[in-house]
A and B are shown apart, each in its own frame.
Chain A
Amino acid sequence: MNNKNLARPLAVASTLALLASTPLAHADPDDYVHVPAVEYGEREIELRLGTASPTDDHRESAAALAFGYGITTWWATEIAAKWHRSGATSFDELEWENRFQLTEPGQYFADFGLLVEIERPRDHAEGYEFKIGPLIQKDFGPLQANFNVIVERHFHASESEQIELGYEWQLRYHYRPAFDFGAQGFGGVGTWNDWSPLHDQQHIAGPAIFGKFNLHGRQVLKYDAAVLFRLTDAAPATTVRGQLEYEF
C-alpha cells in the first residue's frame, strides 16, 4: 500500500481514536440526511431551513448557511453558520462537517461513509459538540435507502457530558432528475448505553421530495424537503424542513 492509499485509513483512524478517547445532542429542525458519496472538486453553497411545531411555549426554527468543498475523492468538508429561533432569533453555532467516503459507490453490497462533525455553540457554556457515525447507503434498483447512526457528545460543557445516540434515514425513489420522492426520518433514543423510555424519545418521519436542475456547465441546483410527523409524544407534532444547494 503506497502513501496515498494509506492517507484515508490513517485520517479516519486518527479521527476515530480522537473521538473515542474524548468525552461527545438531537435532531434540529434543519437537520438533513447525510450520504456517504463524496464529489471531488465540487463546491457548494447550501441553505437549510426547518421549523418544528412547539413542544412547550415556542415554535422552534433553525436555519444554516454553509459552504462545502470536495477536497479529495474521499473527503468532503463543510463549514456552516447556524441560527436558531425559539421566541427570539439568534446566532446559534458554527459547524464543521466532514464526510469520508470509505467505499466506492456500488462496489460492495452497500456503500459506507463516515460523518465527523464538530460544533461550537455561541453559548460557550455548551462547550463543543462532537458528532460521529457511519453513513450507509444501499440501492435497490431505482430505490435508494440511507441509514446513519450518529453519536453525539458535548465536552467542556457546564452540563453533564453523555454520549447520546441518534439516527437519520431516508428512502428515495429515483423518478425524474427534477423530482424524486420518498420518505425521511430522524430520531434519538437518549444516552447510548441507557436508552430513555420510549415516550421520552424523539422520533419523527414523513414524506420527502428531492430534485436536481442542471443550470449551465458545472452549475447545478439541488433541493430536498420533507414534512415530518411525530412518532412519539416527546417529539414536535410537525416539522417542516428543506435544503437548497447550489453546486459550482
Chain B
Amino acid sequence: MFTRFLVVAALAAAATVAHAAGEPEFNLTLRDHRFTPSELRIPAKVKVKLVVDNQDASPEEFDSHALNREKMIPGKSKATIYIGPLAPGRYTFMGEFNASTAQGVVIAE
C-alpha cells in the first residue's frame, strides 16, 4: 500500500514537472561585483525567467528578501531564477557576498 502511495506521488510530481510552460526570459550580468542592468524592468503579473551570468571568478549569492529568492551562483557560470508573478512595484536584490556594490532592483510594471 505504502509503495503504491509512493508510485502515485512520483507520477503526480512527474506530471507537474512535465506541465512546465515557457516564461519570458530576462538577463542579468554580474561583473566586478556589480549587476548590469542594475534596474531590470519586467512585466507585472507575469512569471519570468531570470538568467544571471556571473562573469566574476568568485561565487556570488543572489539574494532578495522582497522576491523570496536566494541562489548561489558559482564563478564563471550562469543560474536561472524564476520570479513572479509580481504586483507592480520595486523589488530590491543584492549579491550577498559583495553587498556594498552588488545591488539592484526589479521593477514590475
Report A's interface with B, CB cutoff 8 A: 13, 16, 20-21, 37, 39-42, 70, 73, 102-109, 112, 134, 139, 141-142, 144, 151, 163, 174, 176-177, 192-193, 212, 214, 217-218, 220
Contacts and interface: CB of A to CB of B under 8 A. Distances in A.
B22 to A, nearest CB: 11
B47 A106 contact: yes
Contact of A141 (B17, B59, B87): B87
B62 to A, nearest CB: 11
A16 B6 CA distance: 8
B16 A106 contact: no
A205 B32 CA distance: 46
Contacts of A40: 72, 74
Given A20-B2, A41-B72, 17 more contacts: A13-B10, A20-B6, A39-B71, A40-B72, A102-B13, A104-B82, A105-B81, A106-B84, A107-B82, A108-B16, A108-B17, A141-B87, A151-B2, A174-B65, A217-B98, A218-B61, A220-B96
B66 interface: yes
B70 interface: yes
Interface of B: 1-3, 6, 9-10, 13, 16-17, 19-20, 47, 59, 61, 65-66, 68-72, 74, 80-84, 87, 96-99
A112 B13 contact: yes
A139 B83 CA distance: 10
A39 B59 CA distance: 12
Given A104-B80, A106-B82, A42 B10 contact: no
For A37, A73, A103, A106, the residue with the greatest tally of chain B CB atoms inside 10 Å of its CB is A106
A108 B72 CA distance: 20
Contacts of B81: 105-106
20 contacts: A16-B10, A20-B3, A39-B61, A39-B71, A40-B74, A41-B59, A104-B82, A105-B81, A105-B82, A106-B47, A106-B82, A106-B84, A108-B20, A139-B68, A142-B66, A174-B65, A214-B99, A217-B97, A218-B96, A220-B96
Given A41-B59, A41-B74, A106-B83, A163 B2 contact: yes
